[in-house]
Amino acid sequence: MSRIEATNDFVVKFANVNGSGSASANELFARAILRMGVPVSPRNIFPSNIQGLPTWYEVRVCEAGWLGRRGGVDLMVAMNPQTWEQDVAEIQPGGYLFYDSTKPLPQSAFRPDIHVIGMPATAICNATYDVPRERTLFKNILVLGALSELMGIAAEVIEKLFAEQYKGKERLLDSNVRALHAGREFARDHLSVQPFGLKVRRADAVGDRVFLEGNAATALGCVYGGASVCAWYPITPSSSVAEAFEKYAAKFRTDPDTGEKRYAIVQAEDEIASIGIITGAGWNGARAFTATSGPGVSLMTEFLGLAYFAEIPLVVIDVQRGGPSTGMPTRTQQADLLSSAYASHGDTQHVLLLPEDPRECFEFAATALDLAERLQTPVFLMSDLDIGMNQRLCQPLEWDDARRYDRGKLMTAEMLDAGREFARYKDVDGDGIPWRTLPGTHPIKGAYFTRGTTRNEYASYSERGDDYIRNVERLKRKFTTAALLAPQPLVRAAAQKTRVAALYFGSTAPAMDEALAALAGAGIHIDAMRLRAYPFPPSVADFIAAHDTVFVIEQNRDAQMRRLLVNELEIAPARLTPVLHFDGTPITARFITDAVTRHVHALATNPRSAA
């Protein structure tokens, strides 16, 4: 039987039960490999209940630096009998199954083309620990110890991680170290007789990159970007944005002398209240945001329409998950594009920013706050669960201390006293963006009535058709301006001239990077453009026009990005070929490679069948 042999390039997946304490041990496994200088990309797949249901933790180990899901599992650590069959089925031929052998299993439970490693972890813990909770928790550490011995992960690296985690709690530190070494000793004494082909070797492939979650990076970007008001209602997977913002704001926005907090965080009674609070804050001149997910956006649409029509700046951070309705609360998708782009009734269009990783979450959060004020409109930061709740290697966050917030067209008291005309909804510069004042700007000048009903250029109530047309056409011009102000798409040209291209965005990027390399290695050369914002600048239409076949790769059922492209750029639908992944797990490089390869080969064989 073949045996997978790989050093610093494999996938390990842990199958556990939610609430068993496995998450901490699994993260230690990933961090230990990272500390040995080998890039890792972990993904936590967890249920939406508190405990008892299956949970998985998948770790991509890749010295070459690919950070997307690869597809397939080389080592399955199967500790959950409920999911045994599906877990065993995921293992690559020649791969490895590590399981708790306390209760013997029949030979029929194992596949003949994989290598089985049994460790009676429960029996060892029952014999060692008297407290039931300790038996459960230390079983995970015992398994971690055995795996570290088999794979060559240095014990001192894990011990250092323990020391950092349990600083000041020496009793917990000592007991975890003992459990770790008990697992390593068992592996040396009982498991070393079987060859194990997955190894970790020290490397220097991490560099200065940082390891953090997208939600934390987003929250820090809001702090650096000047946000002073956050209103939110808890919803998976966005809650940790507000929680992290509170932590960072307490550190950076608290007066060191007086202890005064220079920020406000409100946990509202629902999503409707949260968007209402930040609409009021934005109108009053504060930089304000809310964090939510798809169901929250659905509830916020009426206030979003008000903010769009009354031209009030605010930011919505949408950490997308599986939908519709409650959908899959703890799974990832890119399925809120249409609902966010056109949120509210009537003719509305909202700016969407599409970050690829935590670094761009940080950058785009600050950019969103600038754009919201510059454009006087709601701006969405479209993250998702894969970026938001998983730790990802990315370039260090950077901030220019000389940067100044873009407050947009704010008319001052001095400008009013100098005789400048103030017409709240008049386009005087040709970019669709009017001048505004903040409450209290001047004692007698520059005031206006903010309303959600139609008005003329001077904010006076009007139901005249020409006033309405003038206003909504100006809003359309403002949206055209937004296409040039938002982050521009990035193009990666193929090594050879080609008429085949791909458009992609957001968390699809890591898998796409690897897929492009694999396709090029197979002789399929593709020009690629990563979309970073909506509305689309003219360069997107030009890119599409320059190619015969254009794939649009996204993680939803209905090809929502493709629909936006067709609708906004008036592209013939047949020119855009969808590649869709929507089972709730992050898209894999293999999925993209297989889908594109099949289509390209079909196109070469029968052009009509591939159209």
Asked if residues 194 and 3 have their Cβ atoms less than 8 Å apart, the reply is no
Q: Is the pLDDT of residue 202 over 50?
A: yes
Domain that includes residue 34, residue range: 6-199
Residue where a domain terminates, one of 485, 500, 516: 485
The token pair that represents 574 in the structure block: 């047949």
- Count of residues making up the chain: 611
- Sign (positive/negative) of CA torsion 369, 511, 76, 334? positive
In a domain, 344, yes or no: yes
pLDDT tier at 610, thresholds 50, 70, 90: very low
Side-chain half-sphere exposure of 199, counting CA atoms within 13 A: 11
The token pair that represents 531 in the structure block: 């979309």
pLDDT recorded at residue 51: 65
What CATH number is associated with residue 590?
A: 3.40.50.920
DSSP at 83: G
What CATH number is associated with residue 245?
A: 3.40.50.970
* Cα Rg, the chain, nearest whole Å: 27
Asked if residues 396 and 360 have their Cβ atoms less than 8 Å apart, the reply is no
The residues that bridge with 527 in the sheet, in sequence order, are 501
User: Does one domain contain both 425 and 503?
Assistant: no
- What's the chain's average pLDDT? 95
User: Does one domain contain both 17 and 125?
Assistant: yes
User: Does one domain contain both 217 and 297?
Assistant: yes
How far apart are alpha carbons 541 and 161 in whole angstroms?
50
pLDDT tier at 536, thresholds 50, 70, 90: very high
pLDDT in tens, 214-270: 999 999 999 999 999 999 999 999 999 999 999 999 999 999 999 999 999 999 999
Q: Is the pLDDT of residue 607 over 80?
A: no
User: Does one domain contain both 382 and 278?
Assistant: yes
The token pair that represents 370 in the structure block: 């600038």
How far apart are alpha carbons 349 and 297 in whole angstroms?
14
- pLDDT more than 70, % of the chain: 99
pLDDT tier at 611, thresholds 50, 70, 90: very low
Residue where a domain terminates, one of 434, 464, 485: 485
Question: Which residues, other chains included, contact 24 with Cβ-Cβ below 8 Å and sequence gap of 6+?
Answer: 140, 165
pLDDT recorded at residue 50: 63
Cα–Cα separations (whole angstroms), residue 610 to 38, 62, 561:
41, 34, 20
**Taking residues 574-589, what's their average pLDDT?**
96
* Cβ neighbours around 581 below 10 Å, total: 21
**DSSP H or E stretch at residue 45:** strand 40-45
Say what angle helices 132-151 and 22-35 make with each other, to 10 degrees: 30
The token pair that represents 597 in the structure block: 């390869």
**Taking residues 399-405, what's their average pLDDT?**
95
pLDDT recorded at residue 266: 97
pLDDT in tens, 20-66: 778 899 999 999 999 999 999 999 988 876 667 899 999 999 999 99
Residue with tokens 């995970």: 140
305 phi/psi in degrees, rounded to 5? -65, -40
End-to-end CA distance of the chain: 42
User: Does one domain contain both 388 and 430?
Assistant: no
Q: Is the pLDDT of residue 140 over 70?
A: yes
What CATH number is associated with residue 25?
A: 3.40.920.10
User: Does one domain contain both 360 and 481?
Assistant: no
In a domain, 239, yes or no: yes
How far apart are alpha carbons 249 and 255 in whole angstroms?
11
**Taking residues 350-356, what's their average pLDDT?**
98
User: Does one domain contain both 329 and 438?
Assistant: no
Closest listed residue to residue 162, CA positions, set 19, 58, 12, 29:
29
In a domain, 246, yes or no: yes
pLDDT in tens, 84-95: 999 999 999 999
How far apart are alpha carbons 62 and 70 in whole angstroms?
10
- Sign (positive/negative) of CA torsion 491, 495, 496, 501? negative
pLDDT tier at 133, thresholds 50, 70, 90: confident
How would you classify residue 168: left for phi > 0, otherwise alpha for psi between -120 and 50, otherwise beta? left
